[in-house]
Amino acid sequence: MSEPTPARGALPGPDGAPRCPWGLSTEDYLVYHDTEWGRPVHGDDALFERLCLEAFQSGLSWITILRRRESFRAAFAGFEIAAVAEFTEADRARLLADPGIIRNRAKVDATLANARLLADWPEGELDALIWSYAPERADRPAPRTLADVPAVTDASTALAKDLKKRGVRFIGPTTAYALMQACGLVDDHLADCAARGTGTR
């Protein structure tokens, strides 16, 4: 979730409960904020999906990806690593012609290359690698405003470097941190947000 971070604290939502301000901007964000963002995600395929979607989001607003997520899932075989690894040149052409996704050649090619790479990893290795960079929550004070939420951290920089060293494409420190936020490695819900602390490892 990489959005501008003005100095705003939690705001009351439609039910009166305080939430991170970005979660109140659209109905799609409200549902995503309340039910997914910051909650732990495990499993190689599930993390592959988040890794791919965060890469597709690069340079765009997350809402653009969120509203196309079901189309992405249909186009990429539910982001099952083994299935995507078997995609052919015809599949690549299909993806680049699919108006339901982001038809960025570099991002599509990176997704296919990453699937082929990860298909050779032992089961659970992607999950274990990503989660090995989760910081201790006691060491991270709760952000009071959006301005307190970082876009990059030492941990996300190290995670991106490790993934790139292993051959994963289209991953940098900012994308890695967005992944960490979305998948619950860190809890960046604001201190007064009703959703803070709802995820457990």
Task: Find the catalytic residue in 22, 29, 49, 54.
Answer: 54
Give residues with Cβ within 8 angstroms of 49, minimum separation 6.
73, 76, 78, 79
Task: Find the catalytic residue in 22, 29, 37, 62.
Answer: 62
What are the Cα distances from residue 54, in Å, to 58, 65, 174, 175, 190? Answer: 7, 8, 10, 6, 21
Strand partners, 18: 12
Q: Is residue 62 annotated as part of the catalytic site, yes or no?
A: yes
Integer Cα distance of 188 and 56 in angstroms: 22
Please report which helix (H) or strand (E) contains residue 28, including its range. Answer: helix 27-35
Q: Is residue 54 annotated as part of the catalytic site, yes or no?
A: yes
Task: Find the catalytic residue in 22, 32, 131, 177.
Answer: 32
- Catalytic residues, by residue number, are 32, 54, 62
